[in-house]
Amino acid sequence: MIVLGSVPVRVIGVAHEDNGISPNRLSVWLPWSTMMYRISGQTALTSISIKLKEDVVSGPAVESLTQLLTARHGTKDFLMFNRDKYRKAIEGAAATLTLLILMVASIALMIGSIGVMNIMLVSVTERTHEIGVRMAVGARRGDIMQQFMIEAVLVCLVGGSLGVALSLVIGPLISLMAGGVLTAIYSWESAGAAFACSTIIGMIFGYLPARKAARMDPVAALASE
């Protein structure tokens, strides 16, 4: 037994959870007579919610319902709201927003990738003498290339770690500032994808600096200051 307001009711079953209907609110279904006479105090229905099957097109169904109710009432004295239309509009807006976010993220990744490549090129230039010494003591081109590729990947992984840590700090702050309306949801899959993306960026944009270092002339590298 549970009490709704001041009316005790008996639970006779638990419905399967449907995330599409009020996921953050507990819903209770009652017989219409109990709801009307004992809780709301009304003697007539004011609204009806109709759920269509998945294989039913909402547009023709709404038109058929409108014609049926108009014929029963003798006139159109009601309003019909098609939530599917609003849902499609919201999904379209969400898809557009997702596309914009992807475009901004792609631009940011491109700028960051160019920055990583420039940093590695500067590092190769400043360590020319070191590269010459390593080649003089027997390091092969593959060893030099591997060294700078690993450094580029590590630089990107450190940046990815800082980004994930920053999101873990900013997320609760945004939720706190929004008064609990917005809740940050974290996913280890997303963090793994971020690290994988950082690794790929380091390998792609670190290849050119590593190739430049591996192709240096040992004599010219040793003679550099």
Per-residue pLDDT of 25-38, as tens digits, reads: 778 888 888 888 88
Name residues whose C-beta falls within 8 Å of residue 155's C-beta, 6 or more positions apart in sequence. 116, 119, 120, 202, 206
Query: Does residue 43 surpass a pLDDT of 80?
Result: no
Q: Mean per-residue pLDDT for 39-56?
A: 80
Per-residue model confidence (pLDDT) at position 99: 92
Q: Is a pLDDT exceeding 70 seen at residue 153?
A: yes
Whether the predicted pLDDT of 219 surpasses 80 = yes
Cβ(134)–Cβ(219) below 8 Å: no
Say if residues 157 and 199 touch (Cβ distance below 8 Å): yes
pTM of the entire predicted model: 0.58
pLDDT above 80 (res 42): no
For residue 39, how far is the Cα from the chain centroid?
42
